[in-house]
Amino acid sequence: MKRWIFWFVFVVMASCARADEFSRSGKFESVEAFVAAAKSFEPTKIKGEMAALFTVKQLGQQEDPKTGTSVSAKTIESCDVLWAGQDYALVFATAAPPTEATRSVVGVLFLLKQTAAQWLVADFLRFTAIGKYARISAELTAGTGSGYSLGCDGMMPVVTIKEDQGGRGHYYQLSASYTFAESRLKRLDLE
């Protein structure tokens, strides 16, 4: 029995330690360690800047006392590496806060930077989709030619974010592409 209690306490402490690491100032051994910390993060249990990223305002009628209150996601639903180079990586995480009036989805594009053998969050962009068909997706859309590799030779990775919004006759999709320069994410516009 004592052995079981020891293992239970060990597992609880280990999972809490990983969730505490998931912060803007957190330092990660690898991009995969960042993804693991994100997947174990529970925004409803741990407050802070990262929890706020996965929080939305409750929609509804003005007379409803819940309207306008903050609703945090219980867990991070997905967290995927879109691109990883020697010094930078692009990671996309999604969550669905349990809003009552309509479905809500939050997506966050993280730019990670490697410094002194550790990965840090250099920048992030937050996206929200609301409605019956709410969905947010991210895809690496930059192509490379023969002899080129992304992140080198002026070939920067490009990620396209798509937001599916609305429903019940008012569905629409938005999309935009992003890259980074000088440790900051930036939107690409037609020139």
Q: Identify which has the larger pLDDT, 142 or 153.
A: 142
| Domain coordinates in residue numbering, the chain | 2-188
pLDDT digits (tens, 9 = 90+) for 50-101: 888 998 888 766 676 666 677 889 999 999 999 999 899 999 999 999 988 7
Whether the predicted pLDDT of 111 surpasses 50 = yes
Note the pTM of the prediction, 2 decimals: 0.81
Q: Contact, 105 vs 95, CB < 8 A?
A: yes
For the residues 107-113, what does the mean pLDDT come to? Answer: 97
Q: Contact, 82 vs 91, CB < 8 A?
A: yes
Taking CA atoms, 98 is separated from 47, 57, 95, 101, 112, in Å, by 17, 11, 9, 9, 28
- In percent, how much of the chain has pLDDT > 90? 51
The three-state secondary structure class of 144 is coil
Whether the predicted pLDDT of 183 surpasses 90 = yes
Residues belonging to the chain:
191
Q: Contact, 45 vs 86, CB < 8 A?
A: no
Query: What's the pLDDT score for residue 8?
Result: 41
Nearest partner of 33 among 43, 19, 44, judged by Cα? 19
Whether the predicted pLDDT of 155 surpasses 80 = no
pLDDT band of residue 152 (cuts 50, 70, 90) is low
Residues 6+ apart with CB under 8 A from 176: 160, 161, 187, 188
